[in-house]
Amino acid sequence: MTDTVTHIDAFSHHSVVVEFPNFVVVVEGPYTEAQSLTLARMIEGAIGKPICYVVPAHPHYDHTGDLRGLASEGACVLTAAGHEDEIRGIVESPHTNPPSALAMRAAKGAEIGQVEVFARETEISDGDQVLRLYEVTTIPHVNPKVQAYVEGDGIVFQSDWFFGGPRPDAIALYEAVTALGLEVSQVVGDHGGVIPGEVLMALGETGVEE
């Protein structure tokens, strides 16, 4: 995608890795512990920077399957306030039979990631890199939902909203992007690929397909 933003294609459940000068952020964690630990090794080998945050878009099981794996690597789980209870339940519950990587590292006293919460909007910045997170409350699929935006590159990350056609969730994404005044060059999906920003913006003229 760019020199500092990578789309991680993992079968049907994808992530985005955003590189900052001193750390990385993973938007949408992998589906299984094995995938999370593999991604952590890939980041260590290819980038060599710690994973500071993992950001779930919403608490459906296929988007939170292994937040715990990246938390075991020290990544804080940054969630929207509207999903705090669900995400805390996933990350902070004991997994002892069999023990998860997070449970084993916690038992050894290792540093692990904690749950952090934001309301409405926040940003992660370091040097010239800025990742903005929005708690959007107008999406039919689930309310709220986190929309991520890499400001310098105009990249929007979304989950379950937009697959290229004018469905209700896609129109809601278009309206959210428009209301926020975001300039969009690319739209990246958790369950899809990378779509040019102009395809999303054209939805303002095409209407809704039921």
| pTM, entire model | 0.90
Q: What is the pLDDT of residues 109-124, one digit of tens each?
A: 888 999 999 999 999 9
* Predicted local distance difference test score (pLDDT) of residue 206: 64
Comparing 8-17, 75-84, 114-123, 183-192, the range with the smallest average pLDDT is 8-17
Phi-psi map region of 160: left, alpha, beta (phi>0 left; psi -120 to 50 alpha)? left
Which two three-digit tokens encode residue 99?
């023990």
Query: By percentage, how much of the chain surpasses pLDDT 90?
Result: 56
Q: How confident is the model at residue 209, as a pLDDT?
A: 46
Q: Check whether 37 has a pLDDT greater than 50.
A: yes
With a cut of 90, say whether residue 166 has pLDDT above it: no
* Residue among 8, 43, 11 at smallest CA distance from 188: 8
pLDDT in tens, 174-209: 999 999 999 999 999 888 789 999 999 998 766 544
Name the band, by pLDDT with cuts 50, 70 and 90, for residue 65.
confident
Q: Which domains does the chain have, with CATH numbers?
A: 5-206 (3.60.15.10)
Greater confidence (165 vs 77) lies with 77
140 band by pLDDT with thresholds 50, 70 and 90: confident
User: Chain-wide mean pLDDT for the chain?
Assistant: 89
Residues 6+ apart with CB under 8 A from 28: 13, 14, 15, 16, 54, 55, 56, 57, 63, 157, 159, 190
Per-residue pLDDT at 210: 44
- Higher-scoring residue by pLDDT: 14, 207: 14
DSSP H stretches of helix in the chain = 33-46, 61-64, 67-72, 84-92, 101-107, 168-180, 197-201, 203-206
**Average pLDDT of the segment spanning 52-78:** 89
Mean local confidence (pLDDT), 122-137:
96
Token reading at 177: 């992007």
Quick one: pLDDT at residue 4?
Answer: 95
pLDDT of residue 94: 83
